[in-house]
Structure 1
Amino acid sequence: MNHKLDLQSTDITSLNIEKIATLFPNCVTETADGKKIDFDLLKQELSNEIVEGNKERYRLEWPGKREAIVTANIPTTNTLRPVREDSVDFDTTENIYIEGDNLEVLKLLQESYLNKIKMIYIDPPYNTGKDFVYKDNFTKDGEEELFESGQKDEYNQRLVANPVTNGRYHSDWLSMMYPRLKLARNLLTEDGVIFISIDDNEVHNLRKICDEIFGEGNFIANIVWQKKYGPANDAQGMSATHEHILLYAKNALEWSPILLKRDEKQLSAYKNPDNDPRGVWRASDLSVRTFSENCYFSITGPDGQVHWPPESTSWRVSETKFKELLNDKRITFGVAGTARPMQKKFLTEVKDGITPQTWWHREFAADTKIARYEMKDLIPENIFDTPKPSLLIKRCIEISAKDGIILDFFSGSATTAHAVMQFNAEEASAGLAQVGKRKYIMVQVPELTSEKSQANKVGYKNICEIGKERIRRAANKIKEEKIEKAKKDGLFSDFKDEQDYGFRVYRLDSSNMHDVYYKPQDYNQGTLDLFADNVKEGRTAEDLLTQVMLDWGLPLSLPIERKTVSSKEVYAVAGDSLYCCFDDGIDEDFAKEIAKEKPLRIVFIDKGFKDDTAKENVKQLLKQLSGGTEMRVI
């Protein structure tokens, strides 16, 4: 270790570069002089306009990259609206299902879920030439964009085909992925991770953009998943029987994998043929493939046979250490005493589990065939072609999330939600975890099903309808299995299922507030009258409540209670964290009553006050009677 003093002051520049790297890892690049800040990219990160730059540097470039960065930075005026009729246990559940373009949704979640997501799993389009990608062109008029990209107004889709013949085949895919991953990184906890399924078409490019966004040092692994057994004989070239799952951490120094439980086969390797009082053990090779002169010596066995390390190797311990192990009866020469020396590894002394590996075979994480059977078991009609097996995602959860929120913003058939519920149920049944420790957020654009598809024929008009129905049926199946197990175990009379099987549905929509397109000089009494009520027609109090929660950075899963105060309807979020009242006729009497509740925050609509005098008086009364209450008006 070097103990010399540097004899120089702190390198402030290097410290500042590291600070910037924490906030904007993609802005740190390599130059001839070492690690430097890419000021062009940093300017781009701090600007809503495209910043030009042409310096040579080591990084991945493609046509549209700067637009992709701007796309992530441009704020959205959209909001989410609750859909009670599609939800299950809306008032009590902490799970969320969101219908809408995931780019817009990720922007809306930035305040409420900043640094709060424990794990992300996504299965994005693989860019096989047959996939659809999102077209995020913010520079064009909304209607023009809808027309050009073939979107449907009622679903606000942004999906366009991306054939191999497209001149921007890779570029369009990268421009779709980059802003979404940038926004996703912000949501992860410091010890959070993201798993991204991908095949060979774009794994090389995905690795590069993830290195930029998450930082090269936060790459954890490229997991190879055996997605099927046996070759596809109609494949051109080699038959692909694997996919990749890239694993990145928000901060690799803060994350370590949860060890996997040993299965019966692994436990069977531990035996106790010599009745050692320390319990079962397995024999471990005493040699290593590297050579160390200090660890190269002969060992004489009980039968007099002399043992040396294999050629070009040595023992893993010194001669002194070996004698200590021998005296402690930690060396075995086999039952007959004639075998090569091995070290005893006692089960009670090894780690509580197995370190995860990067090769996930079918037996460990299921395959696509099992995934299809699993889907058909829930919904017998063949309505979804490419689901992932829930066991695959359960493995991701198993090594990364004992609790917390799990996000999937390419939700598809909602396999991730299924996996979360199933894993929670299994652990609760085994007494290994509190019920409902993990929660999920699913995000899926309501992509229309083809009119010729089986899904469409049996009534599923878009992918979201499939995902929501799968969650409902999976929840019912898990409930039934738990009841059957309780009956079998003779515990049915005491059985109490406290697991959260519900989900709140929200749908992406335009703002609840009217857009003002006029310049001040263009106003007249007629136009002012249009905005006497700044809330759009048809928007409900719950719509407004959701937008307020998002604007104030409150999680959508918080408990919501309806109260009546002075004959006005009041929404109380998370106890006294937030009160909202969107009724008319708000006056001093109401302020005096609500002040007794002492909410931390309270929100009204501008037109809700009895008059301008009442608005000011309510504000002053709240200051006087409930000094800790922050009042806002929309």
Structure 2
Amino acid sequence: MPFLDWVNKSRAKEATRAVPYHLLQQEGAFGEPADNLLIQGDNLLALKALIPFYAGRVKCIFIDPPYNTQSAFEHYDDKLEHSQWLSMMYPRLVLLRELLAEDGSIWVTIDDNEAHYLKVLMDEVFGRANFLCSIAWEKRYSPPPDTKDFGYVHDLILVYRKTPAFRRNLLPSTEDQTGRYKNPDMDRRGAWKAMDYTCRFTADERPNLFYPIRQPNTGEEIWPKRNRVWAMSKEVHQRNEAEGRIWWGSKGLNTVPALKNFLEGVAQGMMPMSLWKHGLAGHNQDGKREALALFGDTPFSTPKPEQLLSVILHVATQEGDLILDSFLGSGTTAAVAQKMKRRYIGIEMGEHARTHCLPRLQKVIDGEQGGISATVGWQGGGGFRFCTLGDPAFDDHGRISADVKFATLAAYVWHFETGEPGHQAFDKPLLGVHNGTAYYLLFNGILGDRRPAGGNVLTHAVLKAINEVFPHVGPKVVYGEMSRLGTSRLAAEGVTFKQIPYDIKMR
């Protein structure tokens, strides 16, 4: 598979590993208690801060990054040199992939300025086999007034999955779609729509699809064109005949058959297509009107409409799933997730995280009726926590910040050792058992004794207490300030000791 190269790519790859872990500092909670997070801060630092707690837990990621259009926006520097833009995107995509669930997907909006480079970059990060679709979204329904050569009326949405475990949902059928189904022959199976019985392949390309069909009403032998053969094999055609799924016209004398596609199956939902017209997914003017109604101004030049996000979340998620947007902008993704009963994490670095995102989400809790509210029956409720980035969890010498609590360090240790997120309640020395190995942490006097010779140090007494209160038959890994036990005793007990802070390495 070809890889994309650019100036300072090696530095961008190293930046992913060098990003320090920061603590999340809660500034306030709004509405009912909830796990939803609104984070103000650099999204690269915020993503790294989330890794120990949310790795592999995010079902759907939507991001609307700067398009690098060589123009300047009020809230984003969107005039980055090409290689700088790629270096900005690469480490963020790597961290986003680590946060994504095995059955999750990521959706990235972009335009033609960087779309093709981004495609190759995402092939590298997510794997080319995990590319699902490049969706053309009709962002405006009339030609732009300032066009000179071509009028761009669409953006692209690149869609990738984490693994083949991803399963997309069907979209609800619309009245416009179902209205095309009729029942001219009073078929007992209900309304149907005639579908083309041929396909674009030639007889040389698909010789098995080039065969004669007998017209039942005239007895005539019907052959397809050599440059457009039948759409199904002879066996499938015979099954269609037996099931009465072939239509020869209102008088039964057509020379080319059609396939009956019944509404009963279609009513369950429609397959998502690669072209999203504004009637399905809204357009930028909708986004601007929504922003004006909420804020009295438009915080971004091209805010995404709630309808677009609702279609994405409908295809990619179920109620209760966790959604992440690390370029939150005016807060649309979080607002739609709340209204659609999904959980969310939104990250925005600008001051408008406070001036726009925060009040918008408060209005959602209060039951505001803009955007998709009427469609989904939103009446308000829920809540979220507003956080900022605190100090680094570890300094340049590996020392642990005084603000790090037991549960936070436990999440780091657990994630490093197991690769799993630390979402359980860490309130005892035994963090858990993974692949037959038990992991323990002695920190912040978790055993009730803060003396250096006490609960943070692995002594004979502490080991005895661990074996009695938190027994485990099998290998043990114990993190602590120091060990007073010799190597032979540790080996006899099946214990691997790791010293804080020197042996705490972050993924």
Q: With structure 2 as the length reference, what TM-score do the two structures score?
A: 0.76
Give yes or no for the alignment of 1:577 onto 2:428. no
Give yes or no for the alignment of 1:284 onto 2:160. no
How far has the Cα of 1:419 moved from its partner?
Answer: 1.5
1:287 aligns to what SS in structure 2? coil
Aligned pair in 2 of structure 1 residues 274, 237: CA closer, same or farther (>3 Å)? closer
Aligned partners of 2:66 and 2:76 also within 8 Å: no
Aligned pair in 2 of structure 1 residues 328, 620: CA closer, same or farther (>3 Å)? closer
Give yes or no for the alignment of 1:342 onto 2:284. no
| 2:186 corresponds to | 275
Which residues in structure 2 correspond to 1:453-492 (within 5 Å)? 462-477=352-367
| 2:85 corresponds to | 173
Q: What is the CA–CA distance in structure 2 between the aligned matches of 1:481 and 1:232, rounded to whole Å?
A: 24
Q: What is the CA–CA distance in structure 1 between the aligned matches of 2:118 and 2:372, rounded to whole Å?
A: 40
Report the AA paired with residue 56 of structure 2.
Answer: N
Equivalent residue for 1:415, pick from 332, 343, 348: 332
RMSD: 4.1
| 2:105 corresponds to | 193
How far has the Cα of 1:551 moved from its partner?
Answer: 2.6
Aligned pair in 2 of structure 1 residues 70, 338: CA closer, same or farther (>3 Å)? same
Moved more, 123-132 or 616-625: 616-625
Aligned pair in 2 of structure 1 residues 371, 350: CA closer, same or farther (>3 Å)? closer
Q: What is the CA–CA distance in structure 1 between the aligned matches of 2:117 and 2:17, rounded to whole Å?
A: 22
| 2:6 corresponds to | 62
Equivalent residue for 1:359, pick from 275, 286, 290: 275
Q: What is the CA–CA distance in structure 1 between the aligned matches of 2:3 and 2:343, rounded to whole Å?
A: 37
| 1:107 corresponds to | 48
How far has the Cα of 1:213 moved from its partner?
Answer: 1.1
Gaps of 5+ in 1: 1-29, 31-57, 134-158, 425-435, 449-461, 489-495, 520-530, 555-572, 582-599
Aligned partners of 1:109 and 1:550 also within 8 Å: no
Equivalent residue for 2:217, pick from 292, 295, 302: 302
Q: What is the CA–CA distance in structure 2 between the aligned matches of 1:307 and 1:77, rounded to whole Å?
A: 70
Q: With structure 1 as the length reference, what TM-score do the two structures score?
A: 0.62
How far has the Cα of 1:393 moved from its partner?
Answer: 1.5
Report the AA paired with residue 86 of structure 2.
Answer: L
Q: What is the CA–CA distance in structure 1 between the aligned matches of 2:300 and 2:146, rounded to whole Å?
A: 22
Q: What is the CA–CA distance in structure 1 between the aligned matches of 2:356 and 2:286, rounded to whole Å?
A: 18
Aligned partners of 1:98 and 1:442 also within 8 Å: yes
Aligned pair in 2 of structure 1 residues 377, 603: CA closer, same or farther (>3 Å)? farther
Report the AA paired with residue 124 of structure 1.
Answer: P
Q: What is the CA–CA distance in structure 2 between the aligned matches of 1:333 and 1:401, rounded to whole Å?
A: 41
Aligned pair in 2 of structure 1 residues 578, 235: CA closer, same or farther (>3 Å)? same
| 1:559 corresponds to | none
Which deviations, in whole Å up to 9, do the C-alpha atoms of 1:61-105 show, x marking residues without a partner? 222111111100115142111112xx2147x20211111111111
Aligned pair in 2 of structure 1 residues 610, 275: CA closer, same or farther (>3 Å)? closer
Gaps of 5+ in 2: 416-421, 430-439, 473-477, 482-499, 501-507
Aligned partners of 1:295 and 1:316 also within 8 Å: no
Q: What is the CA–CA distance in structure 2 between the aligned matches of 1:517 and 1:601, rounded to whole Å?
A: 21
Aligned pair in 2 of structure 1 residues 379, 612: CA closer, same or farther (>3 Å)? same
Report the AA paired with residue 386 of structure 1.
Answer: T
Q: What is the CA–CA distance in structure 1 between the aligned matches of 2:104 and 2:375, rounded to whole Å?
A: 34
Kindly, what percent of the aligned residue pairs are identical?
A: 29
Give yes or no for the alignment of 1:88 onto 2:3. no
Q: What is the CA–CA distance in structure 1 between the aligned matches of 2:200 and 2:107, rounded to whole Å?
A: 34
Equivalent residue for 2:124, pick from 207, 212, 216: 212
Give yes or no for the alignment of 1:228 onto 2:228. no
2:269 aligns to what SS in structure 1? coil
Aligned pair in 2 of structure 1 residues 548, 185: CA closer, same or farther (>3 Å)? same
Aligned pair in 2 of structure 1 residues 577, 320: CA closer, same or farther (>3 Å)? closer
1:474 aligns to what SS in structure 2? helix
Moved more, 364-373 or 213-222: 213-222
Aligned partners of 1:132 and 1:160 also within 8 Å: yes
Aligned pair in 2 of structure 1 residues 176, 464: CA closer, same or farther (>3 Å)? farther
Moved more, 620-629 or 254-263: 620-629
Moved more, 234-243 or 402-411: 234-243
How far has the Cα of 1:395 moved from its partner?
Answer: 1.5
Higher relative contact order (CA closer than 8 Å, sequence separation 6+): 2
Which residues in structure 2 correspond to 1:7-406 (within 5 Å)? 58-84=2-28, 87-89=29-31, 92-131=33-72, 161=77, 163=79, 169-251=81-163, 253-290=164-201, 291=203, 292=207, 295-297=210-212, 299-300=214-215, 302=217, 308-310=223-225, 312-316=227-231, 322=237, 325-339=240-254, 340-349=256-265, 352-403=268-319, 404-406=321-323
